[in-house]
Amino acid sequence: MNDSRPGRVLFSAEAIHRRVSELGEQIRGDYAGRPLTIVAILKGSVIFLADLARHLGHGVTIELIEASSYGDGTTSSGQVAIRRYGKLDVQGRDAILLDDIADTGNTLTAVRRSLEGMGARSVRTCVLLDKPCRRQVDLVVDYFGFEVGDDFVVGYGLDYDDYYRNLPDICTLRPEVVGVRA
Domain-located, residue 50: yes
pLDDT at 85 over 50: yes
Decide if 46 is inside a domain. yes
Residue spans of alpha helices (H) in 105-153: 106-117
What pLDDT score was predicted for residue 174? 85
What domain range includes position 21? 13-149
pLDDT tens digits, 134-156: 899 999 899 999 999 998 999 99
Q: Quick one: DSSP state of residue 91?
A: B
Checking if the pLDDT of 98 tops 70, the result is yes
- The answer to the question of residue 164 being in a domain is no
Q: What is the pLDDT of residues 15-54, one digit of tens each?
A: 999 999 999 999 999 999 899 999 999 999 999 999 999 9
Residue 159 has pLDDT above 80, yes or no: yes
- Into how many domains does the chain fold? 1
Q: Are 10 and 153 in contact (CB under 8 A)?
A: yes
- Pairwise CA distance, residues 125 & 112, whole Å: 8
User: Would you say residue 106 lies in a domain?
Assistant: yes
Confidence of residue 97 (pLDDT cuts 50, 70, 90): very high
In a domain, 52, yes or no: yes
Asked, for residue 160, whether it belongs to a domain, the answer is no
- Residue 126's Cβ-count burial label (10 Å; 0-12, 13-18, 19+) is buried
Note whether residue 107 is domain-resident.
Answer: yes
User: Which residues are marked as active site?
Assistant: 103
Say how far apart CA 143 and CA 126 lie, in whole Å: 4
CATH number, domain with residue 47: 3.40.50.2020
Residues forming a β-bridge with 91: 120
Sheet with strand 36-42: strands edge to edge: 81-84, 60-68, 36-42, 94-102, 122-130, 143-147
